[in-house]
Structures are given as C-alpha cells and as structure tokens.
Chain A
C-alpha cells in the first residue's frame, strides 16, 4: 500500500508543478522557470521546519509567498520577451537557482548532528513528518488537500473574467492590448500565481522526500512542469492532472518492468500521445 501512497504523493506534487506552468501557459508563455520556483519553495519550507522549528503549514505559506515574490520579480524583466527568447531567459533563471543551491551552505548544529543545506551534498534530514509520527497515507492526504485547493483556485479563475482574459492574451496579444488589457500586469500576475503554486509544491516535495539537492530541480523537472499542461491540454485543470497520472503513473511507474528500455519508449509514447491528441488529452476548450 505504501507504494501507491508514495506514487500518489509524487503525482500530487507534480500536479502542483504542472498547474504552476498551466496558468502561465494560458497566457501563451512557455516558462522553464517553474522548477526554480519549486526549488525556492522546497528550500524555504525545509529551512523553516528544520532550522527554525516551524510547523509545516505556516512554512508552506511562506513557501507560497517566496515562490510568488521570486516569480513576480522574474516576471517583470522576463515577460518583456516572448517565444524562444522567453524560454531561454526562464531556463537561465532556473539553472541560476539550481546553481545557487549547489553552492548554498547554511548549517546549524542540532543535537549531535549538523542540519541544513550543504551545497552539492544537498539538504538532508527534512524530517518534520516522521518526527511528528505522520504515516505515509496521512502525508499523502495532506499533499492532496493542497492539490485540490490549487485546482479549485484555478478552476474558479477559469470561470472568472480574469481567467478569460488570460486566455485572450494567450490567443492574440495585439488584440488584447487593443481592448484595454494591460499585458504586463496580466502576464506577471499569472507568473506570480504560478510561482505561489510551485512554491507550495516544492515545500511539500522537500518534506515527503526528506532530502533535496540541486539536482532535484534540474532542467528535466522544468521540462516536466511545462509538458504536463501541454500534454494534458488547456481545456481545464483536469488535463494537467490526467497528464501527470499518464506520465508519472503509467509511463514512469507502469513501464518500470522494461528496465533501461523504458526511457526510450517513454519519449516515443509522449510523441504518440501528442499525435493522437494534438491539443492535449482533454483537448481544446469548447465554449
């Protein structure tokens, strides 16, 4: 049973990662910065519970705020460029964050051992859940509370004028600004909301794995983040969830018996899925 709980935890965290890219993608922007916000959230929450002794819930709140602030700060300069330039700019940011944590040491003594981020060694002993006796199943439920909350938030946005404006910007920026939409404000706001969601996702990730390091936030994670909403389609938030289940549940776990051949098939299956459903698993939105 623990295996399925573990998988559900992973799917939950990756759904948050995908949702953070989903809202940015609605405005037509492909951002590879989401892994960076995810990393910032992970280290923030980890340091708050381990070094400052906080409860995990307020720590996740601070993760959300940190993720949002960093995303907002990155959004202003980055969203001035579009298309491939934006991809490169956000990729550079994500790698910058990763290299920052690769070099980031901040350890304090806690009883016999020293805890805290230790550069390339990573940040071990993020043991809030085991120390407080949370079972795997409980941790999973805890994670899913946040996943459901994030999905509900974005679902509500999609029903509101804000969400519709995001889609309008994604379709035609020139027309959007000509009907009075402030492109910068709209894009940066989407990035900020995405940053908050990725921050929470990162905080949860740090706590259920108990060990994070710079390599947990590499380009592959950034690619996954953007792949989920693309594979799932932008019709609504469930597309992203389905894509995470398809990729993490079916492709990564389900094909494990194939050994090293899995990775080969993995890419091929994503290409096949995109060919069968060119506008995502859930397809285009129909009004």
Chain B
C-alpha cells in the first residue's frame, strides 16, 4: 500500500527524518511511535505532500507520488488528521464535512456543476453516514469551533473519511483523550480497518498503540531504530533506551 524508501527531510542542519524505510501492507494498522521530535509528524507531512522530501521516494500503491500536490494525493486516497486539530472553526459541523467531499468517487458521481454549485441535497446521505459514524449527528449545525475537544477530534476523523481514503494517517489522535474516549477511538479504528481502510497511526498513547496495531516502527532522531509486532517492540532494549534514557538499557 505505502512504501517509503530512504526518505529524508532536513531542516537546515537538523535531520528531522533521515533515511527512513517503511512498508505498510494493505489492510494493516501500522503504528509509528517515537519520542517527541523524532520525525513522526514530518513523515506524515511528507506522505501527504505538505513537505517535499529532501531525498528518497514515496510509493503509494506502487506509484511514485513524490511530485503530486497535496490535494491530488487526497484524491488518490490518502487522508489525514492533524496533531493539533485543524477544523474550519467558523463553518458548521455539516459544512466541514461538505467541503471535504473531494474524493475521486465524488468527482465521478457528480458533474462539475452539481459538485460545486449544487445545494446540500446531493450529498446528504453520505454526510449523514459520516455524522452517524462519529456520533455528531445531533451537532450538525453547531459551529466546529464550539464543539468540545473530543467532538472536534471525532469531526476531524469524519472529515478525513469524507475522502473515502484507502490510507488514513492519524497524527496523535488520542492526545488529550481520557480512557473512555480512547476506548471509543479504538473501536472506530478497528471498524475502519474492517471496512478495508489501511491505517498509519502516529501515537504517543501506548494504551492505544499496543492494543490496535499489527506492526510498529519506532523512530528516534529521524531514524528507524526498531520494527516489529507490538510484543517485540515492547521487549526491544533499543526502544526502552530511546524512551527511558540511557540508564534503562
């Protein structure tokens, strides 16, 4: 599904990501973990095209997408959420999902005129489904900025799903959530996988990562220091060292 080959991004002298190789299989929930500043978000930004890689290639379903602009990568089926929630705060919940109707399927289904200048009726069903999934149906006319924190996270996930993604990049979706919310998020992620969405999960919250992922890669200082099943990663001495400092090893 997704293959990164010796992907690098340098900011001046800082090697935020340095020669990263990664392969995410179809249907996998792949965890990407690492301490703060280890290059996880930079990697996500390169996959979605917000940052151009300094070196290396990004293959999505066998095709090099390194030169595609962000909005076309989304149409190919790569959607994301942000670490710091980025909703359209002055638009309603419904409108946040409406503007995100940009998938290739939507383009094929509706003509140019209906897609851009048509009213809300054309996509009501689709958006209703997303509202249902995220449990926000009763808030559809609320401004996104007025939602509670957890609701905003759910809306952002729903907005990413409006693209009907094949690959979903979740950048720290559990940050700031309580145990109960993490449990709900976990259910949603597993449900998405059951629907055939491949997921790259960037996360700090081990409770979530260890519970849902099939495979995990650990980054430290922009380099991959370990990769394996959750059990293998938990037992890995290099990972413990990166997280707990030199003494733990």
* A residues neighboring B (CB under 8 Å): 156-157, 159-162, 164-165, 167-168, 171-172, 174-183, 284-287
Contact = CB atoms under 8 A, between A and B. Distances in A.
A285 B163 CA distance: 26
A175 to B, nearest CB: 4
Interface string B48-69: 1010000000000000000001
Contact of B70 (A156, A178, A284): A178
Interface stretch (B26-34, B111-119, B218-226, B239-247): B111-119
B98 A171 contact: no
B186 interface: no
A174 B119 CA distance: 25
Given A168-B99, A171-B89, A179 B163 contact: yes
Given A171-B88, A180-B100, A287-B91, A162 B142 contact: no
Contacts of B102: 179-181
Interface of B: 48, 50, 69-71, 74-75, 79-80, 82, 86-92, 94-96, 98-103, 115-120, 141-143, 159-160, 162-163
A180 B99 CA distance: 9
A284 B90 CA distance: 8
A162 B119 CA distance: 10
Given A161-B101, A179-B99, A179-B159, A172 B116 contact: no
A157 B102 CA distance: 18
Contact of B88 (A167, A180, A183, A284): A167
B119 A179 contact: no
Nearest to A285: B90
Nearest to A162: B116
Contacts of B94: 287
A287 B141 contact: yes
Contact of A175 (B69, B82, B101): B82
B141 A161 contact: no
B119 A180 contact: no
B50 A179 contact: no
Given A157-B117, A171-B91, 17 more contacts: A160-B119, A162-B116, A165-B99, A167-B88, A168-B95, A172-B86, A176-B88, A178-B79, A178-B86, A179-B99, A179-B159, A179-B160, A180-B74, A180-B100, A181-B102, A286-B143, A287-B141
B115 A174 contact: no
A168 B117 contact: no
B118 A168 contact: no
Contacts of B99: 161, 164-165, 168, 176, 179, 181
